[in-house]
């Protein structure tokens, strides 16, 4: 004979065992584009975190780095899909704030990577500043230009091709680069112009810049895509002796550095940014207190570092 109440206890355990496991958390990753290898590496890092933390990651991007309206629509869609968290590299530091505030109001945890949202605009929208992950763009761009500028002992002309003007990371790189140029009185920065992060636009900008200032011998580009565009112009026009500085250390830039077409670039460890973005989102969903800023180490990439044994 079964013990009194034994049948009820057995049934209770069976019912508990039959409960389904909780559904994995849904995390959205919104990138500027996948036409730039930098963002492909961010996704790879995020996918590694997806596997490690057992979440479901959905990735969407704009068609190009300037597709701000597309990013806004993507975030709107994720709000409607009721994702649990959203990790975003915003195309524009200001215009994405209202839709991200709407996401916050819907209970979605936000993590900001790569390009920082504008603090003043967030304050005006009464948006809580999300945790931010990136490198110190001012310091990294300063270091890359200083590496070149420190070797210059006679008067030269320099040009600068910057990124999207409304992007905080573009402004930070501009600050670091111009500071390093200004510290050497032999360097005269004769022109700066935006190519909006794009290869083809940078080629055209370089063409116009060198038409006005044919003696430019140092050219800083705020990302490798623009540096590659500028190098294409230099190759097509047969111009020699121009030192090109890039940023991102994508594979094509590393090839250019090895071949002497580029002097230095900056490795932002994009994969680590993607991984940490998802990791912080998971922590946010657990209710943990998060650091307001997480800085990833930036590393200069030169012919010497590429040749060094690992």
pLDDT digits (tens, 9 = 90+) for 249-287: 999 999 999 999 999 999 999 999 999 999 999 999 999
Q: How far is CA 33 from CA 29, 67, 215, in A?
A: 11, 8, 35
CB atoms within 10 A of CB 153: 8
Percent of the residues in the chain that have a pLDDT greater than 70, as a whole number = 94
pLDDT of residue 22: 85
Half-sphere exposure of 12 (CA within 13 A, CB side): 5
Domains 26-134+270-295 and 137-267 belong to one CATH topology: yes
pLDDT of residue 266: 98
The DSSP result for 172-188, as a single string, is HHHHHHHHHHHT-TTEE
pLDDT tops 60 at residue 304: yes
pLDDT of residue 12: 52
pLDDT of residue 79: 98
pLDDT of residue 65: 87
pLDDT tops 80 at residue 5: no
pLDDT in tens, 162-180: 999 989 999 999 999 999 9
Give the 3-state secondary structure of residue 197: coil
pLDDT of residue 76: 98
The gap between the terminal CA atoms of the chain, to the nearest Å, is 72
Question: What are 36's two structure tokens?
Answer: 């730039």
Q: What topology does CATH give the domain 26-134+270-295?
A: Rossmann fold (3.40.50)
Which residue do the tokens 């508990």 mark?
16
CA dihedral 133, 65, 195, 99 (to 10 degrees): -70
Question: What are 85's two structure tokens?
Answer: 């968290």
pLDDT of residue 4: 44
- Give this prediction's pTM: 0.89
- Which alpha helices (DSSP H) does 24-67 contain, by range? 37-53
pLDDT in tens, 12-42: 555 455 678 888 999 999 999 998 999 999 9
* Residues 176, 140 contacting (CB under 8 angstroms): yes
pLDDT in tens, 190-220: 999 999 999 999 999 999 999 999 999 999 9
pLDDT classification of 1: cutoffs 50, 70, 90: very low
Nearest to 268 by CA among 301, 220, 293: 301
Query: How many Å apart are CA 117 and CA 138, to the nearest integer?
Result: 16
Q: Considering just the CA atoms, what is the radius of gyration of the chain in Å?
A: 24
pLDDT of residue 288: 97
Residue 23 makes CB contacts below 8 A (sequence gap 6+) with none
- Per-residue burial over 107-130, b if 16 or more Cβ lie within 10 Å, else e, is ebbbbbbbbbbbeebbeebebeeb
pLDDT in tens, 125-159: 999 999 999 999 999 999 999 999 999 999 999 99
Tell me, rounded to whole angstroms, the distance of Cα 24 from its chain centroid.
26
pLDDT of residue 2: 44
pLDDT of residue 13: 53
Domain boundaries, the chain: 26-134+270-295, 137-267
Q: What topology does CATH give the domain 137-267?
A: Rossmann fold (3.40.50)
């Amino acid at each position: 004979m079964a013990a009194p109440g034994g049948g009820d206890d057995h049934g209770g355990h069976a019912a508990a065992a039959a409960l389904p496991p909780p559904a994995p958390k849904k995390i959205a990753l919104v990138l500027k584009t996948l036409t730039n290898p930098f963002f492909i590496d961010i996704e790879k890092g995020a996918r590694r975190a997806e596997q490690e933390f057992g979440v479901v990651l959905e990735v969407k991007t704009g068609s190009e780095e300037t597709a701000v309206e597309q990013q806004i629509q993507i975030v709107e869609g994720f709000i409607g899909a009721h994702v649990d968290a959203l990790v975003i590299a915003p195309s524009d530091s200001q215009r994405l704030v209202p839709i991200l505030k709407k996401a916050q109001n819907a209970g979605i945890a936000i993590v900001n990577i790569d390009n920082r949202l504008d603090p003043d605009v967030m304050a005006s929208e009464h948006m809580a500043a999300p945790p931010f992950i990136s490198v110190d763009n001012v310091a990294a761009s300063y270091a890359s230009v200083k590496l070149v500028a420190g070797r210059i002992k006679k008067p030269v002309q320099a040009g600068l091709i910057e990124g999207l003007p409304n992007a905080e990371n573009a402004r930070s790189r501009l600050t670091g680069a111009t500071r390093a140029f200004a510290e050497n009185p032999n360097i005269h920065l004769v022109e700066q112009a935006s190519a909006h992060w794009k290869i083809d636009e940078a080629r055209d900008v370089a063409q116009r810049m060198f038409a006005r200032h044919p003696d430019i011998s140092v050219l800083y580009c705020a990302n490798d895509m623009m540096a590659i565009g500028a190098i294409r112009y230099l190759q097509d026009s047969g111009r020699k002796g121009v030192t090109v500085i890039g940023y991102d250390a994508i594979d094509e830039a590393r090839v250019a550095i090895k071949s002497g077409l580029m002097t230095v670039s900056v490795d932002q460890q994009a994969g680590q940014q993607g991984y940490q973005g998802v990791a912080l989102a998971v922590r946010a969903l657990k209710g943990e207190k998060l650091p307001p800023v997480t800085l990833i180490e930036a590393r200069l990439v030169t012919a010497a570092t590429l040749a060094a044994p690992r």
